[in-house]
Chain A
Amino acid sequence: MTGFLTLFTIFVLSVFLGFEVISKVPSVLHTPLMSGTNAIHGIILVGAIAVLATADSALLKVIGFLAVALATVNVVGGFVVTDRMLEMFKGRAQHTPGTAQPAPPEAVPPAPAAPAGPADTTQELPR
């Protein structure tokens, strides 16, 4: 069992990480980003499975069943709808059409050197 202080440490660090990781987002991506984070909080599915997996009364089974079903809708729906939105932008993020590169192989994380992006796709938010 992990102690409360450890969990709280993780919590506080995650708050800072959450603020840092999306410091500057072009408005074009606000909707997909909202939808993507929406899918990520579907991780409650893991908690819901844990609840249903240890449920011993009928009431807990009903609640757990509902929770797992709802959380699954959140996860699969969230990721699928985000992908559909982003699919619309395929090839468009490329700076110059015609030099489109194929998508990197799946195992490669997205180039973390994001600031190198083309200037016209990372415009300042209007004040």
Chain B
Amino acid sequence: MTAALHWSYLAAAVCFILALRGLSNPRSARTGNLIGAFGMLVAVVMTLVAGHVHNGGLVAGAMVIGVAVGVPAARMVHMTAMPQMVAAFNGVGGGAAALVAISDYIGHADGATLSSGNRLAVLLGVVIGSVSFSGSVVAFAKLQELMTGRPVVYPLQQFVNGVMAAAAVILAAIAIVGAHVGLVGLVAVICLGLGVAFVMPIGGADVPVVISLLNSFTGLAVAASGFVLSNTVLIVAGTLVGASGTLLTRMMSNAMGRSLPNIIFGAFGAVVTAGATGEAGDRSVRSGTAEDIGTLLAYSRRVVIVPGYGLAVAQAQHTIRELADLLEGRGVEVLYAVHPVAGRMPGHMNVLLAEADVPYEQLKEMEEANPIMPSTDVALVVGANDVVNPAAYDSPGSPIYGMPIIHVDQAANVIFLKRSMRPGFAGIDNELLYNPKTTLLFGDAKATLSSLVAAVKAA
């Protein structure tokens, strides 16, 4: 490796550190991302120029394909579908890391000329990269609704997973002690299965946290490959992502009031959750017409909109903006109360509302929104459920107990725009739906919002 290449890798590593730092603050986030991209460009270009590249045509061809797939995908994806896009990009990264590790084993006389330390690094890369790849694929399928978002559980699940994990560890150990290239392939296959089994029992609302975890896994797989290739920038960048990703995963689960083990293994205790839902029975709820609700909104002084997952699914962010503008035109004060985990990922809702050009001053974080709730005439909950569920503070047995919520129950009137009486992603019944001051309007968020727009115009 030439000195120039080393210097460029150092420069890239510094860029990545500055990028992470920049991304941690709203002011510098965009610049931070660009600095990261610049560092990547330096490292890749110098590798191509100074790295004695043979098979140049193949390298160029593969990169052209990668750009031709990656850029349009990233540019055209709807902001609502962005979480699964991140999952997809993470998956291909994990896959690439696993492939690099495998080819390193093959390239060194099927592992025979590697030290056992290097074989350990290869196997780590294969194991973690494969789990990250297939896990991300399942996460993508869940968020894209190609499969059910509900936890998938089956008998003996933990036992089966345990056997697969044990088999992978034992086979990997054999391939580390001696050179057995066939076993490396087998380990990769088992770990692909393990990644699927790992994400299957995780519910749709928790999938973003798992994507963050898989993201840090991929970082570690990259770092492992760095050890095999003696490549410092792979180690630095991979480890940075692994460590910061772990921390980010913990922050995300904290924001949901859950512990990470609870999210990953929570589905195995799903029976308890079902019990909490069962007591709902057939109590009556009050559902209103768009006209009634439109009139109520039009003659309010302050309306607080609580957007949630359903708004994102219905892509109704522009319609809600229209409704808000209309109300503002009539002198109604309109605010948005954004829960930290509203939408499909923490911060996702802010991005969606920003896309619809909702004025920044109208967006209130949960901490700012809660004190003004008692002086609010109407809390309009659009496609949210768990983030306003009073069970989070008044029923200690509830799975979401302890999660901070937006206290819409303190507003004078509560309107829920919901698709159905189906409980939210956490699968817990919401006591607030049966509250006398609550009115429900059923339907797709976009359709019901449009009917409200018409009703407010007529009022």
Mask, B316-339, CB within 8 Å of A = 1, is: 000000000000000000000000
B350 contacts which chain A residues (CB < 8 A)? 28, 89
Residues A31 and B71 in contact in the complex (CB < 8 Å), given A2-B232, A110-B22: no
Give how many B residues have a beta carbon under 8 Å from the other chain's beta carbons: 123
Query: A77 → chain B, closest Cβ, in Å?
Result: 4
B366 interfacial by beta-carbon distance below 8 Å: yes
Residues A34 and B212 in contact in the complex (CB < 8 Å), given A71-B92, A114-B21: yes
Interface residues of B in 340-398 (CB under 8 A from A): 340-341, 345-348, 350-351, 354-355, 360-361, 365-367
Interface residues of A in 1-16 (CB under 8 A from B): 1-2, 4, 7, 10-11, 14-16
Interface residues of A in 22-46 (CB under 8 A from B): 22-46
Establish whether residues A73 and B70, one from each chain, have CB atoms under 8 Å apart when the complex forms: yes
7 closest A-B pairs by beta carbon, nearest first, are A72-B66, A18-B243, A110-B28, A77-B70, A14-B239, A68-B62, A88-B354
Cα A51 to Cα B254 with chains together (Å): 40
Residue of A25, A26, A47 with most partner-chain B CB within 10 A: A47
B211 interfacial by beta-carbon distance below 8 Å: yes
A residues in contact (CB < 8 Å) with B: 1-2, 4, 7, 10-11, 14-19, 21-55, 57, 59-61, 63-90, 92-94, 97, 103-104, 106, 109-112, 114, 117-118, 121-123, 125-127
Cα A74 to Cα B219 with chains together (Å): 12
Establish whether residues B229 and A21, one from each chain, have CB atoms under 8 Å apart when the complex forms: no
B73, B96, B248, B341: the one within 8 Å of A77 (CB) = B73
Mask, B214-235, CB within 8 Å of A = 1, is: 0110110111011101111111
B399 interfacial by beta-carbon distance below 8 Å: no
Establish whether residues A47 and B222, one from each chain, have CB atoms under 8 Å apart when the complex forms: yes
Write the chain A residue with the least CB distance to B220: A41
B25, B32, B47, B117: the one within 8 Å of A49 (CB) = B47
B25, B239, B241, B360: the one within 8 Å of A117 (CB) = B25
**Which candidate, B79-87, B148-156, B271-279, B302-310, is the interface stretch facing chain A?**
B79-87
Cα A40 to Cα B19 with chains together (Å): 9
Query: B299 → chain A, closest Cβ, in Å?
Result: 30
B458 interfacial by beta-carbon distance below 8 Å: no
B residues in contact (CB < 8 Å) with A: 9, 12, 16-37, 40, 43-44, 47-48, 51-56, 58-59, 61-63, 65-67, 69-71, 73-75, 77, 79, 82-83, 85-86, 88-90, 92-93, 95-97, 99-100, 102-104, 106-107, 117, 208, 211-212, 215-216, 218-219, 221-223, 225-227, 229-245, 247-248, 251-252, 254-255, 340-341, 345-348, 350-351, 354-355, 360-361, 365-367, 404
Residues A45 and B96 in contact in the complex (CB < 8 Å), given A18-B247, A32-B347, A34-B86: yes
Query: B372 → chain A, closest Cβ, in Å?
Result: 15
Query: A74 → chain B, closest Cβ, in Å?
Result: 4
Residue of A53, A64, A78, A110 with most partner-chain B CB within 10 A: A110
Establish whether residues A29 and B58, one from each chain, have CB atoms under 8 Å apart when the complex forms: no
Residues A127 and B55 in contact in the complex (CB < 8 Å), given A38-B90, A48-B99, A48-B100: no
Write the chain B residue with the least CB distance to A37: B241
Could you list 27 A-B pairs, sorted by A, with CB under 8 Å? A14-B240, A22-B23, A27-B255, A27-B347, A31-B348, A33-B244, A34-B248, A42-B40, A43-B234, A46-B43, A51-B107, A53-B55, A53-B56, A67-B95, A68-B58, A68-B63, A72-B63, A74-B70, A77-B71, A82-B33, A83-B30, A85-B79, A110-B28, A111-B27, A114-B25, A121-B25, A126-B254
A36, A49, A77: the one within 8 Å of B36 (CB) = A36
Cα A120 to Cα B221 with chains together (Å): 37
B61 contacts which chain A residues (CB < 8 A)? 65
B30, B58, B239: the one within 8 Å of A90 (CB) = B30
A24 contacts which chain B residues (CB < 8 A)? 24
Query: B91 → chain A, closest Cβ, in Å?
Result: 9
B237 contacts which chain A residues (CB < 8 A)? 40-41, 43
Residues A19 and B244 in contact in the complex (CB < 8 Å), given A11-B239, A64-B58: yes
Cα A19 to Cα B245 with chains together (Å): 9
Cα A59 to Cα B29 with chains together (Å): 41
Establish whether residues B100 and A44, one from each chain, have CB atoms under 8 Å apart when the complex forms: yes
